[in-house]
Structure formats: structure tokens, C-alpha cells
Amino acid sequence: MKLTEGLCGFNPLWGGAFLAFAFLMTTRITQADDQPQWGERFTRNLYSSETPIPSQFNPESGENIRWSVELGS
């Protein structure tokens, strides 16, 4: 057995590199601002942190609409 090999020929440096990568990825994911559920936090107060939020929209003219998808076939 070489000094660079662990059990079953596994290089322990790869394990450390994988753990570091996994840690960095999970910390980046937890810092994300997007909340996929309505109500955002445990309080469910239905308040959005986005500003400015339009109070009116018009689907025909597209006023204050960022994206749309046609439905049907």
C-alpha cells in the first residue's frame, strides 16, 4: 500500500476535496434570496421584499407584466 492511498485504494485527499466542495455549494444555496413558497418565511405574512411592486397590471397592453405564457392547444 502506498502512502497516498487509504483503504481500498481510495485517496483521502479526494474525500476532503469532495467535502469542501459540498460545504461551499450548500452555503451558496442557503444564501439564495428566492423563496419558492408563498408567504416567504414561517410567519406567512404574504409580504414580498421586492420593491417597487406595481399595484395595477394590464394583460392586454402588457403593462407591469414581466413574462407570460400562452395556454391551450
- pLDDT score recorded for residue 7: 58
pLDDT digits (tens, 9 = 90+) for 9-44: 667 777 788 888 888 777 665 555 555 566 656 666
More confident residue, 67 or 49: 67
pLDDT above 60 (res 53): yes
Can you spell out the DSSP letters for 4-55?
T--GGG--HHHHHHHHHHHHHHHHHHHT-----STT-STT-------SSPPS
Provide mean pLDDT across the span 32-60.
Answer: 71
* Percent of the chain clearing pLDDT 70 (strictly above): 52
Mean of the per-residue pLDDT values for the chain? 73
